[in-house]
Structure 1
Amino acid sequence: MAGREPVGIASARPGLAASAAIALAYGAVLPVLPTVVASSPSPARAIAELMAVYSAAMVVTAPIWVLVCRQLPAHLLVRLSLLGQAAAMIMLLWSSETTMLLLARGLQGIFAGAALPALQTAASRAAGSEGDRSQRLSDLTRAALVGGLLGPGVGGARRPTTAWSARSSSALPCSCLQPQRSGRRPGPPPLSWPARVRHAIATSSS
């Protein structure tokens, strides 16, 4: 297994796409964090904790993922990383409790750290020479930088039109159910369709 090329990411494009997607997922959450922790007593501290737990999770679990990468094919580990991050982002954007937010952010960091050794291993095994290996690793780094650059823009662009959190999505129907408060007194309730027809007939005959 050690000498076999990983199936699915032997070529450069899938690995570059995975590297960019992981960095993009990290950056896309950043503009949303103020909305996610809006109900927290200290939003600034909550954002700092969410940022720190992501990095801490990657640092702590990095040696573990290196050992796992020696036992599992790299393409399986990359898929596990992408699926795990997707689930963690759903938890992060649909939860309002601080404990769940920290857990979701930590899981996102854990699964993000899983892809790094897998992608580097796949690039090293697929390389035909030392120069090719350096080029492939450099391409992975550039793809991650591009994803990290586009991530905040994607998150910021979708934030006004997309219900990123449970609070924002649930607030929309609740606001529609509440009566609009203004200086004018509420008028009579709207007429039903039969009443409107009778009113139109009476008006035209008179």
Structure 2
Amino acid sequence: MNGSFPTGGFGSGSPFGGSGGSGGPGAAIFDALDQLRKSFDQRPGGSTRMARGDVRAAVLSLLAEEPMHGYQIIREIEDRSGGSWKPSAGSVYPTLQLLADEGLVSAEEQNGRKTYSLTEAGRAVADEADAPAPWKSSDSSRGAHHHAALAKAGMDLAGAAAQFARSGDSEQIDKAVEVLDDARRKLYAILAQD
């Protein structure tokens, strides 16, 4: 990484980082989470934001496989990109509406949700697309996948630590600190290997 984490872990003075001041362990956890999030925001390679046309290509690619509702499309794009790209509902639903206006998708109400599927014209457009799906399109997106997977794992671990701060007793917190310190040492050992 970029060396933004001190060797003692997140912050100091409290087993969970921060200053251990008046906010208590919960505030320290949120400080640590914010520090972790910011360290990934500063990573090399820039933004994982995709271009407007990529949402259209992704939607067509997914609907070529099977009908889906909007939330499924968002979730599939996030899963297939390894978490590096999660389009907002504000980009997916207007894209679906535009594709419907163009006669490329149709919507059907199923179980209280609109499920979208390709029309014949939409299937022809999807079949003609010779570019890979946007989440497969470049080495930089694969690199972003690795960064996103690392960020997700770090945030999941920090979330588990936050749960200990909220509901663990002293003995459980001591054990959690040991596990986290061991994990930190093992991570640095991996970086130290040639």
TM-score range, shorter chain: under 0.3
Q: Tell me which protein shows more strand as a share of its residues.
A: 2
TM-score, scaled to structure 1: 0.24
Highest RCO, 1 vs 2 (Cα 8 Å, sep ≥ 6): 1
Structure 2 length as normaliser, TM-score?
0.25
Structure number with larger C-alpha Rg:
1
